[in-house]
Chains A and B, each alone.
Chain A
Amino acid sequence: MTVLDMRDIRKVYRSGDIDIVALDHATVQVDHGEIVALLGPSGSGKTTLLSIAGGLLTPTEGTVVVGGHDISEYNAKQLTEFRRENVGFVFQSVNLVPFLTAEENLLVVDELGGNKGGKAAKGRARSLLEELGLGHRVKNLPGQLSGGERQRVAIGRALFNNPKLVLFDEPTSALDTKIGEQVMELIRTEMKARDTAAIIVTHDTRMTHYADRTVHIVDGRLDAGTVTA
């Protein structure tokens, strides 16, 4: 079953008088539980592709279907709700809420959905953090955590709503190699345990073996994808 189906995506940024074509006829499918690495040099359009897949940007042309929702024509309000309920994001930079504990940073997702963060949600946040090796860190603020620990909290937040698709934008580029590999290992374990599909953007070829398949992107164009695992 296909979780993400992007067809003939074109994305043009207008910057002053110049049009920048960030994606050109990009087509990609990701299956249920599949982990895809998106590999390409800086400026090749990786972040743009990820943003469109997650409903952060709308494509100039083409169709995007995520978990059965065709989001190509969604307005901003529909996209907000779509993101809240259907996708998880892990960004490159630190982006936890600084005044919330690790546990509360997971519960934010619940609160944004208008829920009151009851006992069940709390229990889920705790067991998720324990699974991520942060059982002793639930009450710590982001400022008290290491870079790797913070990224693991961010993974917990992305998984909290049980999304079908999680999007990682260079999740290890701010971490040193050893910690980065641990985080990649953890991502793989968590995705496989939940049968959750993922796209992991990277420009580091050493990270691609954690994925089932690698798609290369150069100047906004994709290749078919090579199976790596």
Chain B
Amino acid sequence: MNLPLLELRRQPSRFIVATVVLSFLATLLMFLGGLLDGLYLGSTGAIRAQQADVIVYSESARDSFLRSRITSEQRAQVEAAEGVEEVGGIGFVLLGAQVPGETDIANVAVAGYETPPKGVPAPPPDGQGIADTRLEDAGASTGDVILVGPQQTPIEIIGFVDDTSYLQQSSVWVNLPTWRAVQNANRPDSTVSDDIVQALVVSGTGDLVTSIDTATAGATSTLTKDDAVLALPGVKQQGDTFNQIIYSTLVVVLAVVGLFFSLLTLERLGLYGVLKAIGASTRRLFAGVVLQAVIVAVVAFVIGSLLAIGAAAALPAAVPLQLTPARFLSTFIGLVVAAVLGSAVSLRKVTKVDPASAIGNAS
């Protein structure tokens, strides 16, 4: 027999309001988190997929691929730097693409590479590309020839790869000469010559950031892969904004739990007096309040998860909502911690209940 659990079972109506409100807040938390994750994953896939320790930009690029240019002399310096084991060139160009049989223009990032990112095979022959599955969602299939950019440069799609999109655009992985051809045909204002790449993906050992920038005498700016992900336009800002909203929502959860359970405690002061009189400790009574708050939070988490999963299924694919196991876990932890802290508000009230109050109103 457990008093707080029996109360939840026998008088569930007392807890319905709190459970409903917390369920909606849980849905909101997962929705916000899912959008953040969707935006993050969709922006950063191409960089996260790199099998590299660091990414080397030109010094003037301010950590942007599109502004960065690495010459073959600089590349030779990087290759000679201490700890460097493997170096590959990389370059992106963002363009529209016509997919056969589709009227809408798809957004693609034509990505030239040497070192294959995770899941991508070795660079294909000229004029062929491996596309991100986003392009499949946009209607492309293997064997299609997509026409890229204002000059309608053809690229034949020979396969698909998961989770490699770049700034919400579908990457199309091609060899470096094909990338240069697409870049030079469609972006005549920023052509690249045959010995140029935008950036280098480098793996090796030791403090590569320092050794590479020293070896090029400051002509390069090197970032770890994680920093390069955060340096992508908008990624950090999105993260900060969404996390702020998520933390604010958790504060609301805290307030709801605090308010609800202190009202409930207020209603139960008489009962607590009697229970203390017959030998209940403050600790036991307070633990009961916390237990109830945690159970309400867990139930709200389950309902909220189901609502979020339902909503995600009902939403159009264009909404970048992604519900990840990590997000479920962090939402669960957030709710439980908020429930414990929120119910702690009642501790003072429970402590102050005088066991003599059980008998005091007799005369």
Contacts and interface: CB of A to CB of B under 8 A. Distances in A.
A89 B7 CA distance: 23
A51 B276 CA distance: 13
Interface string B279-321: 1110010000000000000000000000000000000000000
Interface in B1-15: 1-3, 6-7, 10-11
A109 B356 CA distance: 17
Contacts of A98: 271
A157 B278 contact: yes
B326 to A, nearest CB: 38
B7 A56 contact: no
B3 A77 contact: no
A56 B6 contact: no
A93 B361 contact: yes
Given A108-B3, A111-B3, A112-B284, A95 B358 contact: yes
B363 interface: yes
Given A83-B279, A100-B6, A112-B279, A91 B359 contact: yes
B1 A104 contact: yes
B329 interface: no
B277 A83 contact: yes
B358 A89 contact: yes
Q: Give the one of B2, B7, B274 with max A CB within 10 A.
A: B274
A179 B125 CA distance: 100
A113 B362 contact: no
A128 B279 CA distance: 20
Contacts of B270: 95
B293 to A, nearest CB: 18
B362 A170 contact: yes
B177 interface: no
Given A99-B6, A117-B1, A51 B356 contact: yes
A50 interface: yes
A169 B362 contact: yes
Contacts of B6: 99-100, 104
Contacts of A116: 1
Contacts of B281: 77, 80
B239 interface: no
B359 A85 contact: no
A16 B270 CA distance: 24
A85 B279 contact: yes
B231 interface: no
A182 interface: no
Given A93-B362, A104-B6, A84 B355 contact: no
Contacts of B279: 80-81, 83-85, 109, 112-113
Nearest to A117: B1
B359 A50 contact: yes
Interface in A78-121: 79-81, 83-85, 89, 91-93, 95, 97-100, 104, 107-109, 111-113, 116-117
B360 interface: yes
B277 A56 contact: yes
Given A97-B274, A112-B284, A117-B1, 19 more contacts: A43-B363, A47-B359, A51-B356, A56-B277, A80-B276, A84-B278, A84-B279, A85-B279, A91-B274, A93-B361, A95-B358, A99-B7, A99-B10, A99-B11, A109-B279, A111-B1, A112-B278, A116-B1, A169-B362
25 contacts: A43-B363, A47-B360, A54-B277, A56-B356, A56-B358, A79-B355, A80-B276, A80-B355, A84-B280, A85-B279, A89-B277, A89-B278, A89-B359, A91-B358, A95-B358, A97-B271, A97-B275, A99-B11, A104-B1, A108-B1, A108-B3, A108-B278, A109-B278, A113-B279, A116-B1
